[in-house]
Amino acid sequence: MGAGSAFPKYPADDGAHAQLIDVAKEWAAAIVSNDAALIARFMADEWAIVSESGLTTKEEFLALVRSGDLTHSAMEFISRPRIRVHGDTAVFTARATNTAHYRGRRFDADEWTTDVFVREGGRWRCVLSHITSAAPAPPPE
């Protein structure tokens, strides 16, 4: 989800898709910056992430970032996102890779991510993120 990620161009009249792509890229850059205050700007107060380790709240996640226990050095979308807008709610799904460090241990992830956004005061904020490890590519035939 890094700044160098290429996303498809949507028609000019599809403003919500373009906004969500911009938000996703900016949020990825914020995560890689390891700046908890900047990351928090993209999250609703009730945000949580669901992963193989269970549910983590916004405050738990940001506390890990603030402490330096959790850092990210890379985050990039590697698939075209699937975006569905339902009024002031949107679902953004894409395959992404990231490199994180948790308490000094490096983790390289290849995941399918789904973020649920709600438009509040003209801004999209994420209320829920869900990550699932991507299956390895089949060996070449």
Dump pLDDT digits (tens) for 20-49: 999 999 999 999 999 999 999 999 999 999
Span 115-136, pLDDT tens digits: 999 999 999 999 999 999 999 8
Can you give the pLDDT at residue 137?
Answer: 76
Which pTM was predicted?
Answer: 0.86
Structural domains in the chain, sorted by start: 15-133 (3.10.450.50)
Cβ pair 54, 39 in contact under 8 A: no
Can you give the pLDDT at residue 46?
Answer: 98
pLDDT higher than threshold 80 for residue 139:
no
Higher-pLDDT residue of 32 and 13 is 32
